[in-house]
């Protein structure tokens, strides 16, 4: 028996060749889904991104992270969204930030693609009631809600577990070394997806893929089978 939480591998590379190399490697290793960080690509355009996802030919999250939330895309907001719209034809999910202008969020939603509506705070962990409001708003908009925040204390990480406990179909992450355990324990709350690292660490506290897969399934082995 295995965890139902899918392990996603972010790919943050500047060119198509490197992206496809990492994609093939982690598909073979058993990744459940890939996250293409479009903002890591040098001069991406809609046609290029669509072709990359088609060539990967594996469930993929298309993410073109907003600069306000740690992204690296250098084009206009209109261009950023145009790329995501193109990706929506071939991606399993499109990640769009809650802080994106409503008209651009709606332009993604109207494509019919499944969405992850996300929120990232690389400075702090907001008060729990504020995080609840963020997730509730995300859940009204998209298929999966995602919130990733930065802890200062262990209590901050426990607030993130409270989010996982309260809501279904939510990705809630406490980033950094202090909160890295939340990426693993998320499976106990039936989180749909957790993120592990390849050779790219795209967020603080990501655990490498092999370790993540081993831990997620460690205590799900049937001990009767071992005795036999």
Between helices 77-87 and 102-109, what is the axis angle to 10°? Answer: 20
Active site (catalytic) residues: 120, 146
CA separation for the pair 135, 71 (Å, rounded): 21
CA separation for the pair 228, 217 (Å, rounded): 20
| Alpha-carbon torsion, ordered 88, 91, 92, 94, to 10 deg | -50
Query: Per the structure block, which two tokens stand in for 88?
Result: 């929506």
Pick from 108, 68, 114, 103: nearest CA to 84: 108
Query: Per the structure block, which two tokens stand in for 140?
Result: 């009204």
Q: How many CA atoms lie within 13 A of 2 on its CB side?
A: 9
Q: What is the CA radius of gyration of the chain?
A: 17
CA separation for the pair 90, 26 (Å, rounded): 19
């Amino acid at each position: 028996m295995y965890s139902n939480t899918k392990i996603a591998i972010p790919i943050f590379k500047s060119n198509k060749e490197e992206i496809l190399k990492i994609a093939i490697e982690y598909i073979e290793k058993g990744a459940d889904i890939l996250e293409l960080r479009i903002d890591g690509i040098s001069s991406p355009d809609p046609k290029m991104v669509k072709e990359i996802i088609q060539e990967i030919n594996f469930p993929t999250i298309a993410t073109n992270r907003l600069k306000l939330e740690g992204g690296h895309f250098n084009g206009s907001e209109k261009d950023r969204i145009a790329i995501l719209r193109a990706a929506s034809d071939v991606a399993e999910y499109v990640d769009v930030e809650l802080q994106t202008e409503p008209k651009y969020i709606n332009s993604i939603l109207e494509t019919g693609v499944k969405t992850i509506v996300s929120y990232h705070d690389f400075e702090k962990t907001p008060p729990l009631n504020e995080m609840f409001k963020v997730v509730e708003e995300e859940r009204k908009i998209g298929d999966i809600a995602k919130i990733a925040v930065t802890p200062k204390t262990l209590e901050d990480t426990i607030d993130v577990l409270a989010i996982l406990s309260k809501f279904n179909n939510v990705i809630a992450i406490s980033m950094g070394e202090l909160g890295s355990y939340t990426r693993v324990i998320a499976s106990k709350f039936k989180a749909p997806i957790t993120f592990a690292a390849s050779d790219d660490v795209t967020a603080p506290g990501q655990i490498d893929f092999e370790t993540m897969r081993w831990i997620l399934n460690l205590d799900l082995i049937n001990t009767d089978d071992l005795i036999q």
